[in-house]
């Protein structure tokens, strides 16, 4: 079990949690996750919370391959009103700010966000880890090489799991030295990784549990699903649920998803399965 200090509010992770994605951008890879700023985005977040999401992850920067880089000012003018509106509508909502800009992270938390989700783990803004330490909120650190604009050319690894493990060890050391107490590790499915490497990473997800940090899996509707199945992201929900099941069985503590209700149901079923010991199964069968 893990406990995260979400801006003064403890969040226990005794069973896996769902993080619902709200992308306030028209550049996200999956059309169903794109929301216009204002009431539409807030209503979507409220529905996710009603469906069982424990966290809302909001961002205004697409990080799909070859995405358009947006300045921090654009993120601020988009996410701060959303955070204020959602907090007003649902004061107990746990909001994660998805950004690699330290200034955006700082202002978002001051506006009501409770954690920071950085796809670069502090590597795209040298001030990020210090900002998170000052804010005293959890830091979701994702593995990526390069930037979203260059990462697809950087998918060569001599030993994928070992290199990501070393990356996380270094990130944890930096966070500890800076005073960041709560770190969540995201192996970065789809970021500087081929489809085959993504499946290798999913199979070996449990190896990162030795680092003693919660693990986040973000596979929802990604290319490892829709390319393998020769479908579109819009047709990838069934495949997403299959991979969510695999991620949970391999130790994921948080699922970052576009479709909250199916993910909540997946967690309930896998948790029921995990509670059945070998002895109970033997008694049931014999």
User: How distant, in Å, are the alpha carbons of 59, 144, 186, 201 from that of 164?
Assistant: 25, 9, 10, 9
Neighbours of 127 (CB within 10 A): 14
On whether the CB atoms of residues 271 and 264 are closer than 8 A, the answer is no
Cα 206–chain centre separation: 17
**How many Å apart are CA 149 and CA 147, to the nearest integer?**
5
CA dihedral 171, 61, 151, 166 (to 10 degrees): 10
Q: How do strand 95-98 and strand 115-118 relate by DSSP bridges?
A: parallel
List, by residue number, the catalytic residues: 222, 256
Residue matched to tokens 């099941």: 245
The radius of gyration computed from the CA coordinates of the chain, to the nearest angstrom, equals: 18
**How many Å apart are CA 117 and CA 21, to the nearest integer?**
11
Please name every residue paired with 55 in a beta bridge, in sequence order, or none if there are none.
19
Cα 172–chain centre separation: 17
């Amino acid at each position: 079990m893990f406990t995260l200090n979400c801006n003064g509010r403890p969040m226990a992770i005794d069973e896996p949690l769902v993080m619902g994605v709200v992308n306030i951008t028209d550049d996200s890879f999956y059309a169903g996750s794109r929301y216009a700023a204002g009431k539409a985005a807030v209503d979507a977040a409220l529905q996710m919370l009603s469906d069982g999401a424990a966290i809302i992850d909001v961002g205004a920067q697409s990080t799909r391959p070859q995405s358009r880089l947006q300045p921090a000012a654009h993120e601020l003018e988009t996410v701060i009103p959303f955070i204020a509106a959602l907090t007003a509508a649902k004061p107990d909502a746990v909001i994660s700010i998805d950004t690699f800009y330290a200034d955006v992270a700082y202002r978002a938390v001051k506006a009501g966000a409770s954690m920071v989700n950085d796809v670069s783990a502090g590597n795209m803004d040298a001030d990020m880890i210090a900002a998170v330490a000052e804010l005293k909120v959890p830091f979701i650190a994702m593995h990526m090489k390069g930037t979203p604009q260059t990462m697809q050319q950087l998918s060569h690894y001599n030993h994928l799991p070992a290199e990501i493990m070393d990356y996380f060890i270094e990130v944890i050391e930096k966070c500890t030295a800076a005073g960041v107490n709560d770190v969540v590790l995201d192996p970065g499915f789809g970021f500087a990784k081929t489809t085959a490497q993504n499946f290798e990473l999913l199979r070996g997800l449990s190896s990162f549990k030795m680092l003693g940090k919660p693990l986040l899996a973000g596979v929802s509707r990604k290319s490892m699903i829709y390319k393998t199945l020769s479908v579109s992201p819009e047709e990838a929900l069934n495949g997403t649920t299959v991979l969510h099941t695999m991620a949970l069985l391999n130790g994921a503590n948080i699922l970052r998803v576009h479709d909250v209700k199916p993910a909540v149901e997946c967690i309930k079923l896998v948790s029921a399965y995990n509670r059945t010991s070998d002895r109970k199964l033997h008694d049931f069968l014999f």
